[in-house]
């Protein structure tokens, strides 16, 4: 069906033809490229890599291919087995490894899988490193090691416990306050590794958990992207259970969505806003999110007298900007919390712990907390163009037309109006321009997107 190669890894659907899908041969080729790149970059023989996977059906097969291939390149493997993306990220530096691979297609449906690549810090590899790796994957005639130099293989089943332990040590996580609040929550873990990581964390915090879809068998009961359209079951379950709120994570546990006690969406954009509100109240600093994230984070930052900065879309870009600005909280509007006190990566587990502490200290309901934040509504549309259309030229013309507004061009074109904004991003693989908007009402957000669709049509 599809194979997508990018600087951050390789992603595709299982089955089909080599080169068109994520087949065993494609998996071996890309794992070989990563291992070859890593050994060259480090210029040493003894190289160690941590791997872990989400619970999707193809995970065990892909994991076996990756680990065996890396051993064939002469790399030692520490296999965490079923794990989460943030857990693998944390274990790379903890185990003093040279890199890591997370086997997950994140929020994509069950037919997808992917290899996400980490450096020795447990962070996603840079754009430059990714380009070098892709070059090796496309042009290399791989040279595997002889039998006496094969990499070793060990399993480690302590990783999630370590991750939870480090969260509980954080100064801003107040386990006693959470326990005293006596929270009852409903959890939807979409039958992936949230089911083996979120309940232990909640129980350590004294939270009563009503589990939904927590069996890590990879049979996703609904589309695994944590958007309102996919979350009807838990939105009904939370008020039925008289729970304080609901928690939803995606298959690899790096995106966090919340459901208020009345069954309404807290809003995936507002997960980061709420956590940032708490972090800024205790440790003021700059904040960072990407250009397509809600303006609400900027509003909250301004309330604390702090600077907000926007990065290009992509976790690696957010992390880079957070380091530049010494931001103590940041992330992406899709529910991705990045809390550097723990590690530089999107992490639902630390997001849950910080949110619980915030709610416990506020002493109000989830719904009441949401009402303390400014309300914005987002629109997401796209326009398909003919292949011969120059999308760059269209964006240049729009940049000129709106030069009197606040313009950002580090990632497509973002135009900030007084009460709304529009972000136009071209696809690197298709003649498409994606249109993201935000406004005080859903109608205004959709109308703004439609207006720019018409403007693009007129320029095409």
Q: CA–CA separation, 17 vs 23, rounded Å?
A: 7
CA distances, 298 to each of 163, 285, 295 (Å): 30, 12, 5
Which 3 state secondary structure label does DSSP give 256?
Answer: strand
Residues recognised as catalytic: 106
Beta bridge partners of 425: 434
Q: Please, are residues 193 and 106 in contact by the beta-carbon 8 Å criterion?
A: no
Q: CA–CA separation, 330 vs 301, rounded Å?
A: 11
Q: Please, are residues 218 and 225 in contact by the beta-carbon 8 Å criterion?
A: no
Which 3 state secondary structure label does DSSP give 236?
Answer: helix
Q: Both tokens of residue 451?
A: 């207006």
400 backbone dihedrals φ, ψ, rounded to 5°: -65, -45
Which 3 state secondary structure label does DSSP give 36?
Answer: helix
Q: Both tokens of residue 209?
A: 């958990």
Q: Both tokens of residue 457?
A: 């049509």
Beta bridge partners of 22: 14
Beta bridge partners of 3: 12
Instruction: Quickly tell me which residue has 């529910």 as its tokens.
Output: 335
Residue 26 CB contacts under 8 Å (≥ 6 apart), including other chains: 3, 10, 12, 18, 19
Angle 14-20-24 (CA atoms, 0-180°, nearest 5)? 45
Q: CA–CA separation, 336 vs 340, rounded Å?
A: 13
Q: CA–CA separation, 425 vs 289, rounded Å?
A: 16
Buried b / exposed e over 308-333, threshold 16 CB at 10 Å, is bbbbbbbbbbbbbbbeebebbbbbbb
């Amino acid at each position: 069906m599809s194979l997508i190669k990018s600087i951050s890894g390789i992603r595709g659907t299982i089955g089909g033809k080599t080169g068109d899908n994520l087949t065993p041969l494609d998996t071996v080729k890309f794992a070989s490229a990563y291992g070859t790149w890593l050994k060259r970059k480090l210029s040493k023989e003894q190289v160690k890599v941590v791997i872990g996977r989400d619970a999707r059906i193809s995970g065990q097969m892909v994991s076996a291919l990756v680990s065996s291939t890396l051993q064939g390149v002469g790399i030692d493997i520490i296999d965490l087995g079923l794990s989460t993306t943030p857990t693998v990220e944390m274990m790379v530096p903890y185990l003093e490894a040279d890199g890591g691979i997370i086997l997950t297609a994140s929020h994509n449906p069950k037919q997808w899988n992917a290899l996400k690549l980490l450096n020795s810090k447990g962070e996603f590899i840079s754009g430059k490193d990714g380009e070098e790796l892709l070059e090796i994957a496309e042009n290399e005639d791989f040279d595997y090691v002889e039998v006496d130099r094969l990499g070793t293989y060990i399993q480690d089943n302590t990783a999630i416990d370590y991750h939870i332990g480090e969260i509980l040590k954080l100064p801003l996580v107040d386990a006693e306050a959470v326990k005293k609040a006596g929270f009852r929550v409903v959890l939807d873990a979409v039958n992936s590794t949230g089911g083996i990581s979120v309940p232990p964390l909640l129980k350590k915090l004294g939270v009563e958990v009503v589990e939904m879809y927590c069996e890590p068998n990879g049979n996703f009961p609904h589309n695994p992207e944590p958007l309102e359209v996919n979350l009807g079951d838990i939105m009904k379950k939370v008020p039925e259970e008289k729970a304080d709120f609901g928690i939803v994570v995606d298959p690899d546990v790096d995106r966090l969505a919340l459901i208020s006690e009345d069954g309404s969406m807290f809003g995936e954009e507002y997960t980061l806003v709420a956590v940032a509100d708490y972090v800024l109240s205790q440790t003021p600093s700059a904040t960072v999110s990407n250009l397509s994230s809600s303006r609400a984070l900027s509003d909250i930052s301004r309330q604390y007298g702090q600077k907000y900065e926007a990065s290009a879309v992509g976790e690696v870009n957010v992390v880079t900007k957070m380091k530049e600005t010494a931001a103590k909280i940041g992330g992406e509007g899709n529910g991705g919390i990045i809390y550097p006190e723990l590690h530089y990566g999107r992490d639902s587990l630390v997001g849950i712990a910080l949110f619980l502490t915030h709610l416990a200290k506020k002493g109000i309901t989830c719904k009441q907390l949401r009402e303390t934040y400014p309300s914005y509504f987002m629109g997401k549309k796209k326009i398909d163009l003919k292949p011969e259309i120059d999308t760059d030229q269209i964006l240049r013309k729009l940049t000129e037309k709106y030069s009197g507004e606040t313009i950002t061009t580090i990632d497509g074109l973002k135009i900030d109006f007084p009460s709304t904004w529009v972000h136009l991003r071209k696809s690197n693989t298709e003649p498409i321009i994606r249109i993201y908007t935000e406004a005080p009402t859903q109608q205004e957000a959709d109308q703004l997107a439609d207006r720019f669709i018409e403007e693009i049509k007129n320029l095409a």
